[in-house]
């Protein structure tokens, strides 16, 4: 899976704002509010990847978090992207 | 046709196919040298037509085939909205009212009642006027942010060729009573991003978002819940000057 569109991500203080780029992306009128972890997931999804690879990356980056905590964060965010139609299959 | 207009203290050279753009811009013409130039052609007009068709289909709205001259005005503003970004200026969907030498920007998704609310300002305050009823430009200059009139002002076309310091930004929503509260930028910036003109390239979009962020650091934001009582204008003005 990977992102359908390129995103511009901006640090807005306590969170990040992600807005899709391009004419096609106008179909998605909104924007995504991201925390640090979801901003990192979004970055990884610029390239073709798999949920388990992202999980592995986050596990190495956040060793104090449990597998399940990372899994919940990942699944919630991927579901959000899927609902908004922002991911390729 | 070739002519130059001044918007937001920026001189813009325009070359167009039809005279619709120059007629629209008659109050903004200048003899000064352009800071940047745009050109619209038949390809741009065809792009606008196809875009309008696509959007109508996507939103399940009826499609109306506007004239080439009108579509060219849309194409011209699209190019101006991108060309003006390096001048720290961006296009925001909203209505700007001027009063007492300052500007108040009202923004909301379409249909909430920006036009109705700004009419209440005109009814209540004899010295109030519409700077732009639909698509003003906001510009940062010399440490301040200004709301600028432009000829592109929606179907009512209300605009005035002025550039006023922006006092505050007010998000409108419908309410049973008229209430205003000051809100943090963090609460409303997604709406601002949604209401700003969204350029097609990463570089231009990133610049737009950085200007919105800068707006958050330099302006007061309010949330106005309002009904159809003209006193909503007094509540808004007093709330933003309390």
pLDDT tens digit string along B37-80? 999 999 999 999 998 898 888 778 888 889 999 999 999 999 99
Residues B40 and B143 placed together within one structural domain of the fold? no
Residue A71: burial class (beta carbons within 10 Å; 0-12, 13-18, 19+): middle
* Domain range enclosing B14: 2-83
What H or E segment, with its residue span, contains residue A9? strand A7-11
Residues B63 and B156 placed together within one structural domain of the fold? no
Interval B91-106 mean pLDDT: 97
Residues B155 and B184 placed together within one structural domain of the fold? yes
Q: What is the pLDDT of residues B154-208, one digit of tens each?
A: 888 999 999 999 999 999 999 999 999 999 999 999 999 999 999 999 999 999 9
- Angle, alpha carbons B157-B6-B36 (nearest 5°): 120
Residues B129 and B236 placed together within one structural domain of the fold? yes
Q: Please indicate if any CB of chain B lies within 8 Å of the CB of A24.
A: no
Q: Enumerate the residues of chain A whose CB falls inside 8 A of the CB of residue B193.
A: 17, 19, 31
Which range has the worst mean pLDDT, A20-24, A38-42, B52-56, B80-84? A20-24
Question: Quick one: what percent of chain B has pLDDT higher than 90?
Answer: 89
Q: What residue has token string 């005109």?
A: B122
Q: Residue A23 — very low, low, confident or very high, per pLDDT cuts 50/70/90?
A: confident
**Nearest CB to A23; choose among B200, B202, B209:** B200
Residues B64 and B166 placed together within one structural domain of the fold? no
| Minimal C-alpha gap between A28 and chain B (Å) | 10
Residues B137 and B198 placed together within one structural domain of the fold? yes
Q: Enumerate the residues of chain B whose CB falls inside 8 A of the CB of residue A17.
A: 189-190, 193, 209
Q: Residue A22 — very low, low, confident or very high, per pLDDT cuts 50/70/90?
A: confident
Averaged confidence pLDDT in chain B: 95
Q: Domain boundary at B35, B54, B83, which?
A: B83
Residues B120 and B59 placed together within one structural domain of the fold? no
Task: Give SS3 for A22.
Answer: coil
pTM of the model: 0.91
Nearest to B118 by CA among B138, B140, B103: B103
Contact A12 B186 (CB under 8 A): yes
Domain borders along chain A are 7-83
pLDDT at B113: 87
Residues B213 and B172 placed together within one structural domain of the fold? yes
Per DSSP, A86 falls in state -
CATH number at residue B203: 3.90.228.20
The larger pLDDT score, comparing residue A13 to residue B209, is at B209
Domain total of chain B: 2
Contact B46, B36 (CB under 8 A): no
pLDDT at A26: 67
Residues B6 and B105 placed together within one structural domain of the fold? no
Residues B115 and B167 placed together within one structural domain of the fold? yes
Residues B162 and B61 placed together within one structural domain of the fold? no
Contact A30 B190 (CB under 8 A): yes
Residues B183 and B218 placed together within one structural domain of the fold? yes
């Amino acid at each position: 899976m990977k992102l359908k569109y390129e995103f511009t991500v901006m640090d807005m203080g306590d969170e990040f704002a992600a807005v899709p780029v391009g004419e096609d992306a106008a179909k998605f009128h909104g924007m995504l509010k991201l925390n640090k972890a979801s901003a990192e997931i979004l970055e990884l999804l610029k390239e073709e990847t798999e949920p388990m690879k992202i999980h592995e990356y986050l596990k190495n980056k956040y060793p104090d978090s449990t597998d399940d905590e990372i899994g919940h964060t990942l699944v919630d965010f991927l579901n959000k992207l899927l609902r908004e139609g922002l991911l390729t299959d | 046709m070739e002519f130059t207009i001044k918007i937001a203290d920026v001189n813009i050279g325009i070359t167009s196919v039809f005279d619709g753009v120059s007629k629209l811009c008659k109050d903004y013409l200048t003899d000064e040298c352009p800071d940047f130039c745009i050109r619209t052609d038949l390809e741009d007009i065809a792009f606008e037509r196809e875009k309008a068709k696509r959007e109508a289909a996507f939103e399940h709205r009826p499609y109306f085939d506007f004239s080439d001259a009108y579509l060219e005005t849309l194409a011209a503003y699209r190019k101006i909205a991108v060309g003006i970004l390096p001048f720290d200026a961006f296009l925001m969907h909203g209505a700007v009212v001027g009063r007492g030498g300052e500007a108040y920007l009202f923004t909301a998704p379409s249909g909430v009642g920006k036009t109705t609310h700004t009419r209440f300002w005109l009814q209540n305050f004899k010295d109030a006027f519409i700077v732009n009823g639909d698509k003003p430009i906001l510009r940062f200059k010399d440490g301040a942010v200004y709301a600028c009139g432009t000829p592109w002002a929606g179907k009512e076309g209300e605009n005035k060729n002025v550039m006023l310091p922006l006092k505050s930004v007010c998000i409108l929503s419908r309410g049973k009573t008229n209430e205003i509260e000051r809100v943090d930028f963090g609460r409303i910036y997604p709406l601002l991003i949604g209401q700003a003109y969204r350029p097609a390239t990463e570089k231009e979009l990133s610049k737009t978002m950085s200007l919105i962020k800068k707006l958050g650091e330099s302006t007061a934001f309010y949330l106005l819940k309002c009904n159809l009582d003209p006193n909503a204008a007094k509540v808004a003005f007093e709330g933003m000057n309390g």
